Amino acid sequence: MFSLSVPLGKFVRRVSRLRGGGSALPGLVVEKIDPGFMQRTLSTLPHGVAVVSGTNGKTTTTKMVVELLESQGLKVFTNRTGSNFTRGVAAALIGDVDWRGRLEADIAVLELDEAHAVHFVNRVPPRYSLLLNVLRDQLDRFGEIDKTAQLLQHIASKTTGTVVLNREDPRVARIAGTLQGPEVLYFGLDDSLLGTFPSDDELRAGPGSPVPAVPQRPQADVVLRRVGADDADFEYDGVTVTTGMKLRGVYNIFNAAAALALARSICGSGAATADHGTLLKALSEVAPAFGRGESLTVDGLPLDLVLVKNPSGFRLGLKSFPSGGYATMIAINDNYADGRDMSWLWDVDFDSLRADGVDQVSGSRAYDMALRLQYDEVQIGAVDTDIPAALADFIRKGKGKPKRVFCTYTAMLAIRRELSKITTVEVVS
């Protein structure tokens, strides 16, 4: 059915992009004038909708799932801008549908913020859902961590086909016991890697402190057995396979197990099953999503961007991207998209930065970050709340050295914007 909402949405999208406006604005317009647009459009997809949610890793995991499915010949719609609210999905749809509102795709794979996913699944029940983890993140928005777990449980309850859960996260694994109807699959870790991924309770517990009991670990569809410098071992169907990996960071590799589990489920639900050689080749070629371990080139040397937004993510970032031999910058903002409560910085151990120090600290909460580093006796080169000025100073003083920037979400966007003036930065439209 032809609707004026699509031409109007496309017009708003074009004007918004010309003026440098937000990517979600066309979605807001369409939601107001045609509330049924998203549900009507997505209901036509042969393989339905897959939702990816959780505290950490949504963007990179969604990117992996998309590329794995495309390697199997499926045409995939996704909200690639990273706008993971409902109106962001609507805005991405406006960009992909034709003027009659028809979407040429086999399946939609959507990254959704935990809270907004609840509203989405009430309107568009997904056929598949992948739930990654529950960690303390933006408690000013969600309150207690158990509230976040409840949001993910609601997503699972609305899923009509298959729910893929993180076996190693107790709050996520327990969701299985609340479900009636959908198939439940798991992704997991080899015992030797469990210490690398502590649960939120384990991360906060002091020596000897009790943590909630972990349910007996069920059989996992995909298990990450080993993480190497540029490869990894995964086990599924009783066989362990080794594949090269462009992705760096142990957390990204663990999420690759999650992506494999979801892609295998989707490809196995139709007449044809996955070609595993092609699937692994595609996985080996996935590059980091923007800002999530993304490596840019400045003055002929790498500059890595590492997104951090909670204690576990920062801890894993420091472990995955050691500071030795690199000039280091940390940029911390407290805008709404970052979370306003920065007290979580005190739950991160920064001892690993002590040997080489931090060359530059920036962002609206630069002085909070600097104070935290001082308590861990980490030497600081400079502190400047102005991100463009701080970045320019960091690049100038670090000339001749590879660089790494740990940054919150809006700080990452500001840094990419500045870097686009001096180097090639992937444009996410």
The mean pLDDT value for 295-322 works out to: 87
The mean pLDDT value for 349-353 works out to: 94
Residue 19 pLDDT level (bands cut at 50, 70, 90): very low
- Residue 17 scores a pLDDT above 70: no
- Residue 164 scores a pLDDT above 90: yes
CA distances to 20, 255, 264, 297 from 424, rounded to whole Å, are: 19, 27, 34, 8
Choice between 91 and 284, residue whose per-residue pLDDT is larger: 284
The mean pLDDT value for 389-398 works out to: 96
The mean pLDDT value for 329-350 works out to: 90
- Count of residues making up the chain: 429
Task: Give pLDDT, residue 96.
Answer: 73
Residue 253, both tokens: 């590799």
CA 130 to chain centre: 12
Residue 125, both tokens: 């029940």
Residue 81 pLDDT level (bands cut at 50, 70, 90): low
The mean pLDDT value for 215-226 works out to: 90
Task: Give pLDDT, residue 271.
Answer: 42
Task: Give pLDDT, residue 74.
Answer: 95
Residue 345, both tokens: 């910085």
Residue 21 pLDDT level (bands cut at 50, 70, 90): very low
Report how far residue 90's alpha carbon sits from residue 103's, in angstroms, rounded to the nearest whole number: 12
The predicted-structure confidence for 174-194, as pLDDT tens digits, reads as follows: 999 999 989 999 999 999 998
Domain limits, the chain: 5-285, 292-419
Task: Give pLDDT, residue 30.
Answer: 64
Q: Is 268 helix (H, G, I), strand (E, B) or coil?
A: coil
Maximal C-alpha separation, the chain: 64
The predicted-structure confidence for 38-76, as pLDDT tens digits, reads as follows: 888 899 999 999 999 998 888 899 999 999 999 999 999
Query: What secondary structure letter does DSSP report for 170?
Result: H
Task: Give pLDDT, residue 36.
Answer: 75
Residue 11 pLDDT level (bands cut at 50, 70, 90): very low
Residue 300 pLDDT level (bands cut at 50, 70, 90): very high
Task: Give pLDDT, residue 79.
Answer: 83
Residue pair 163/182 in contact by the 8 Å Cβ criterion: yes
Single pTM value for the model: 0.81
Residue 41, both tokens: 């459009």
Choice between 2 and 274, residue whose per-residue pLDDT is larger: 274
- Residue 363 scores a pLDDT above 70: yes
Topology of the domain covering 292-419: Protein-Tyrosine Phosphatase; Chain A (3.90.190)
CA distances to 248, 299, 351, 375 from 357, rounded to whole Å, are: 22, 22, 10, 13
Task: Give pLDDT, residue 201.
Answer: 64
The predicted-structure confidence for 145-162, as pLDDT tens digits, reads as follows: 788 899 999 999 999 999
Residue with the two structure tokens 């590059």: 287
The amino acid occupying position 156 is A
Report how far residue 187's alpha carbon sits from residue 253's, in angstroms, rounded to the nearest whole number: 12
Residue 18 pLDDT level (bands cut at 50, 70, 90): very low
DSSP string, 367-393: HHHHHHHHHTT--EEEEES-HHHHHHH
- Residue 319 scores a pLDDT above 60: yes
Share of the chain above pLDDT 90, in %: 54
What is the overall mean pLDDT for the chain? 84
Residue 136 pLDDT level (bands cut at 50, 70, 90): low
Select the CATH number that applies to the domain covering 5-285 from these four: 3.40.50.300, 3.40.1190.10, 3.40.50.10110, 3.40.50.2300. 3.40.1190.10
- E-strand stretches of 254-362: 292-298, 301-307, 327-331, 358-362
